[in-house]
Amino acid sequence: MNNLNSVLIEGTVENISPISDKQIAFTIRSKRTVRVEEELTEIECIFKVRTSELLKKSCRDYLKPGRTVRIVGRLARDGAEVYISAEHIELRP
């Protein structure tokens, strides 16, 4: 049996930086509201995302800080750094 390595996350783009001619990296901030002892608390997480060569042009043209995105991808690792390798990005208005 193969291990499942799938990520679906929605958040707001924080910053964008090109890695190489083939990849773009950006971070997203994902917020979640949970109830803790009758009080609503907001939890924020920041994730690093890298795109494939096929998504680079679209991300360069349409991805801007503050834009909400939904990402389908997988977890990947480069040395000690763990990031989301995006396979599909949906841009929200």
- The tens digit of pLDDT for each residue in 17-64 reads 888 888 899 999 999 999 988 899 999 999 999 998 888 888 888 899
- pLDDT score of 22: 82
Amino acid identity of residue 69, one-letter, is V
- Residue ranges of domains in the chain: 7-91
Per DSSP bridges, beta strands 24-36 and 68-78 are unpaired
CB neighbour burial string for 11-35, b if at least 16 within 10 angstroms, e if fewer: bbbeebeeeeeebbbbbbeeeeeee
- pLDDT score of 5: 92
Classified as helix, coil or strand, 45 is strand
- pLDDT score of 93: 78
The distance between the two most distant Cα atoms of the chain, rounded to a whole number of Å, is 50
52-80 average pLDDT score: 91
Looking at the domain 7-91, which fold is it?
OB fold (Dihydrolipoamide Acetyltransferase, E2P) (2.40.50)
DSSP 8-state symbol, 61? H
In this prediction the pTM is 0.85
Q: How confident is the model at residue 90 (pLDDT cuts 50, 70, 90)?
A: very high
